[in-house]
Structures are given as C-alpha cells and as structure tokens.
Amino acid sequence: MAFADYQLEIYLQGLSGILPSLPMSFAELEAKAQAAMSPGMWSYVAGGSGNEHTQRVNVTAFDNWGLMPRMFVGANDRDVSVELFGMTLPSPLLMAPVGVIGLCAQDGHGDLATARAAARTGVPMIASTASVDPMEHVAAEFGETPGFFQLYTPTDRDLAASLVHRAEAAGFKGIVVTLDTWITGWRPRDLSTSNFPFLRNHCLANYTSDPVFRASLQQTPEENPQAAVLRWVQIFGNPLTWEDLPWLRSLTDLPLIVKGICHPDDARRAKDGGVNGIYCSNHGGRQANGGIPAINCLPAVVEAADGLPVLFDSGIRSGVDIVKALALGATAVVVGRPYVYGLALGGVDGIVHVLRSLLAEADVTMAVDGYRSLRELTPETLRRVT
C-alpha cells in the first residue's frame, strides 16, 4: 500500500459520514494540542530559546525552496524506502527524541505510546534518556520496528557506559548522542513559571532504574526522591570535547550518531572520529536563539559527511518539508513537535494519524511532481524562491 492511500481512506470513510477526528493541518493540530495540554506542558514543548526567532525561521526557511515538477514521468509507483545503518526502512521518517514525551500523554506514559505508534507505522522512534518509563519497557513495545536510543552523556562515565549497554541489551539499533544540551537553553516561557520538569522528579526513570546511578545514592530513589534529583543535577551536563569522542566510540559497536552538527568542519571531524552518522539539527530552536535555520546548514553538512548517513530535524511541519530536506541531501528526516501534538490529542492513534498524514503528503507530492524514488530527489530538483 502506498502512503498516499491514506487520503483515499479518509475520503472513502467520508461516504459513510465518518470525518477525521484529528486535525489535517499543522496549524489546527497545534491549536487543538494547546487546548488539550496543561499550560506548563504546552510552554515546555511549544517554546524555544530567547524570543524564539531561530525556532520560527527553522520553519519559514523551507519556504525559500521550491520543488520543480516534472511531467510525463508516470510516477504511479513511488519507492520511498531508505537504507540506514544496514536496515531497510519503509520510509525516510523517524520520530525525534523528546525528553518530556511521557508527560504529553493523557495517561502519563507517552514514551510507551510513541513506541507503540512506531510499531504500528514502521517509523522508528529515537527514545530519549529523559523518560517516564525505563528504556527496556519502551523497547519492548517496538514490535518489528527498529528503535534508537538518544544519550544525554552524563559526567559519570560509568553511568554513561551503563546506559549504553542497557540500550544494547534492550535491542536498540543505534546510539544518538545529543551534543548541544549539556546546559539548558535560555527559555523565557519556562523561566517565567520556573518550569523545569526534571527538578520535580519527572522523566528520570532511566536514571533511577540504573544500577550505577542507584549505587551512587545513600538511599534509594524510592526512599529519598529529592536526593536522586540532586544527584541527577550533579551528573547531567557533560560539555563534551573532541577528546571525548574516542571514549564515546569505544562504548558500543552499535551505530554511533552525533546530534547537533551544523558546521561542515564538525561533520568532517566527527566522521574522522569514527561515527556512523551525522544528525544535522539545532534542536528545533530550543537550545540557542540567534542561529541559522537548520535547513540552510544541511547541504554543506551532507557534502562534508561524504557518504555518511545524515539525519535532519528542526522545522519539519509537513510532508513537503520532508521532501525538500531529502532533496537537499538528508538520508532520513526526523519529526518532533507535530507527533507530540498528535500524542496529546489522541494517544497512539494521534501519533499514527500525524505520521501517516506527513508520509501521505510527501508521497502525494512526489507523485504529482513526478519523482519515483528518493534517489531522484536531488538539490537540482529544487529552486530558490524569494
């Protein structure tokens, strides 16, 4: 079945008087999610750094690129599968790691819901270190869909090794090391309400379930939750340097992907250091304001990666955005806020709807514009729009 068939499914259901219960546009999805989420949760997910200029231009920068349509192609069948780290995925879409995804679900277990949506759609989840449920419970819900584990590297190297080895044992297929979040970005929305969920003992299950972390405490996290939180504060932020890369590489034989790369020199040096994938991202504008739209950084990062897979996120709001990022060289595209809003509105079904909608729009766009496979989406298929 083609991803584009989702629209036919919706139209056919309409003949029986069944209309979509979830929004079809991002603007409506965002508005309804705001109404469904608590003010604190909404500000944490929707907000960004500073006046959120970088967050906004991440989105609007996609408007500067247009896809050139080609006719008489007969793009009736499209191949949107992708080879990634030795695996064949049905689509080039992944779900970004979201540290508070657990709290975005009505039942408080959004990590599990996201994993179940991955199982239903074949869209891999990148599970965050900051989780309501331990990584083993999350991985158990993946079914046949591969998953990746995102590592916030703690200053305690033994704990870092323990987290990675647990991810290996749980069946994760790669480790994504986030580089730009050893310190929290300046987020006025959250600062104005002193809203930092982790200090309130939220989303720390991967730490409190870890034997190395527990051994560093005088009392168990169950006996003294506040002491566990204080220990987390002490070890969370590790300002990694290039000298740390050989150690990170030594922790696992799984594919190692480094997240937050925007400068081509950093991509080259990471490749020389033995990583298996580059993840071009500015954290969706959440960590630093005054930056460059991530999509503008992508082409140079792809060139510098010189054949290494390049994942991309920041500003993806539609299927058309996915197509443009692929044309600019991304191997796979990672979506964040849209699926979070789907979760807040409809749980597993909400995420599945958002993912199917994104993939359907991308597939329809390729069909209409005459592109039969991802290989045909190259920088030459795009034109600058001013």
d(CA 166, CA 134) in angstroms, rounded, equals 10
Neighbouring residues of 11: CB distance < 8 A, sequence distance ≥ 6: none
Neighbouring residues of 269: CB distance < 8 A, sequence distance ≥ 6: 242
Give the pLDDT confidence of 346-384 residue by residue, as tens digits.
999 999 999 999 999 999 999 999 999 999 999 999 999
d(CA 26, CA 20) in angstroms, rounded, equals 14
Give the pLDDT confidence of 301-357 residue by residue, as tens digits.
999 999 999 999 999 999 999 999 999 999 999 999 999 999 999 999 999 999 999
Contact between 319 and 25 under an 8 Å Cβ cutoff? The reply is no
Neighbouring residues of 167: CB distance < 8 A, sequence distance ≥ 6: 135, 139, 149, 151, 175, 252, 254
Residue type, 104: C
Whole-angstrom Cα Rg for the chain: 20
Residue 1 pLDDT grade (very low, low, confident, very high; cuts 50, 70, 90): confident
Which of 53, 137, 283, 353 is the catalytic position?
283
d(CA 48, CA 69) in angstroms, rounded, equals 35
Residue type, 190: D
The answer to whether 283 is a known catalytic residue is yes
**What residue ranges in the chain does DSSP mark as E strands?**
65-67, 82-84, 87-89, 93-95, 126-127, 148-151, 175-178, 256-259, 277-280, 310-312, 332-335, 382-384
Q: Is the pLDDT of residue 155 over 80?
A: yes
